[in-house]
Amino acid sequence: MAISEPDIHSVVIDGVPVFWAESHDPLRLAIMFRVGFGDEQLSWRGISHLVEHLALSGLAHQTYSYNGFVDDVRTIFHAQGSADQLVEYAQRVTNALANLPLDRITSERKVLESEQQSQPGGSWASHMSLRYGARGYGLVDYPQHGLRWVAGEQVSSWAAERFCKPNVAAWISGQPPNRLHFDLPADGKKVPQFLVESLALPTPCVTEHMANGVGVSMVGPRGPELVVAARIVDRRLKERLRWQQGVAYAPGCMYRPLSNDLAHLLLHSDASEEDADSVVETVLDVIRDLHLDGPTDAELTDERATRRAKVPSAATEMQLDLRCLSELTGRAWKPYDVWQREQDEVTRASAAHGIREAWANAIVLAPLGHKSRAASLNEYPMWSTHRIHGRSHRRRLLVPGGVPSGAMLVSSDQGVMLVNPDGRYISVGFASTAAVLRGSNETRYLIGLDGFGIGVDPREWNRIDELQRLIDAHVPVDRFVPMQAAEGEAPPRDGCEVCGAVPAREVTLKRKTVWRREETLKARFCRDCGRATGRAWQDFTLRRTLLGMMTIPAVIANSIALTQLTLLSAPQRKSGVDHWMPGRSVFLRLGFYVVFIPIAVIVLVALVVWLGVTESTG
């Protein structure tokens, strides 16, 4: 059934633009604010969601249905019911926004944390963070860190600046009731949409992930060409992967506007391990075919017929929603019939051109071990390109899950850089730090706006106090997020520094470096972690005997420490906490043989010489 253009009217109520159109009962109302998680910074992530929950917390049970949600660019409060019920809803929500119940922050935090744990990420979230890092649209892939620390002052300030009359519009699926009012603050200003700026990537590029799914993210000019192309891509993916090959259950393509000028296409498909290569190849083939030839005439005809056979009521509410969003973002509004006509005018050539423009900045996400079918593409950068020059921090202690042996940490007043043993590095500049997650054991995990992160564990590095002072002094205070102690994260003061087990004792280990510098490690260990570390240090020292770097005091000190640790009783630690296994005895390691074999040879030669001398004199 073809649908006619909704007749959208507008009226201003209490300074708020309200759009309405006649539809079917029951009435629906939506109050839309131009603020979403994309407007937040990583350390504040979730503050808009907290405002939304606080505003609705006083309604509790009602005889009409209502709810609210926050997406990337907007916060919406919506309800369905009679005219009187919608009037009451609007009044109570706007009153609450102007006078938030800050005493409920703690309670709503718990509700939001529970809600967050039940909402796993997806392909959209992964692609957004790969493309935009830890800002704007990329924040959808990050936890709501702001829930850990924002208090009444921050919440009130955020609500006053964003949830105000200059930054709101509303729609209702019927003529607005006479008693409809919006008691919102008049202060504040309309908030422009955040800048949509991609990371500097060598697109088109490919990377891998642990999930069993294939995705292709593309960004191109917003317009009818990409809208029509997305529907045809969706149809082709379903035909080939679901119906012809039978290798995927729910392939498809999603079109989503990002700004007034840009839109995003996400091609996605589930894929089993055995069919992953085939799915990757088919998805890329669909893009290539449209890239070269565009859709067929039959596909364009079918797309037009399908599009014009939508359900009228759903189309009306969709148009009202888009009209509100256009009002808030400043995008010129196109009436329904104009937008339909523009899509009707899309040709094979224009659709192909739209796909070509979007493919130029594509990111392909393949299951682990299955990117070979996209081998012609560039590799997605997994390491930084900007170096930090400063002081090097020597390694103090290896901990399970920490950075690999041989890694180096560099710091300066510009930022921090972690250098991998193979020379590749990750750097986070203080000026571009999105958040610092501060653990209960004084760990710092720095996350840059580009999404790269570096963990600084005080157990692992020397001169850690100096580094922590640098971080605290150069990163703005509102970027710090206090993290609750994870299982086994903060060992007890008398426990093992590696795993937190008791009993533990403090010992001193020594070794010589290649440059004849003596390193000393003074740390508290349980029996397992201590013997593992002590044996490694003793072996390190013994191996350097032939270089003339072994010192008797170091060997004696390590032997004493190992004896003390061996005398400890079996460690008691929390279940699931990683720890070091002692491994082979020092007497079964290379270092011992480096010392033992030369000594044995010398003793044997001396014995032979002595026996020869004795025999000759006898």
Per residue in 77-106, pLDDT (tens digit) is: 999 999 999 999 999 999 999 999 999 999
The confidence score (pLDDT) of residue 119 equals 67
Q: What are the distances in angstroms from CA 230 to CA 15, 143, 287, 331, 447?
A: 38, 30, 10, 21, 34
What are the start and end residues of each CATH 2.30.29 domain in the chain? 391-482
- Report the SS3 class of residue 109: helix
How long a stretch of residues is the chain?
618
8 Å CB contact between 53 and 189: no
The confidence score (pLDDT) of residue 477 equals 93
Q: Which residues are within 8 A (CB) of 503 and not within 5 positions of it... i.e. 6 or more apart?
A: 526, 568, 569, 571, 572
The confidence score (pLDDT) of residue 1 equals 43
The confidence score (pLDDT) of residue 114 equals 84
The confidence score (pLDDT) of residue 576 equals 78
Specify the fold of 9-172.
Cytochrome Bc1 Complex; Chain A, domain 1 (3.30.830)
What are the start and end residues of each CATH 3.30.830.10 domain in the chain? 9-172, 205-313+325-379
8 Å CB contact between 260 and 329: yes
Q: Which segments of the chain have a pLDDT < 70?
A: 1-6, 24-25, 119-121, 310-314, 484-493, 513-517, 545-550, 615-618
The confidence score (pLDDT) of residue 515 equals 56
Which two structure tokens, joined as six digits, stand for 522? Answer: 């003074």
Specify the fold of 391-482.
PH-domain like (2.30.29)
Determine the CATH number of domain 205-313+325-379. 3.30.830.10
The confidence score (pLDDT) of residue 81 equals 94
The confidence score (pLDDT) of residue 498 equals 86
Which two structure tokens, joined as six digits, stand for 452? Answer: 């790269």
Q: How far is the C-alpha of 551 from the C-alpha of 540, rounded, in Å?
A: 12
The confidence score (pLDDT) of residue 487 equals 43
Q: Which residues are within 8 A (CB) of 437 and not within 5 positions of it... i.e. 6 or more apart?
A: 145, 443, 444, 445, 447, 481, 483
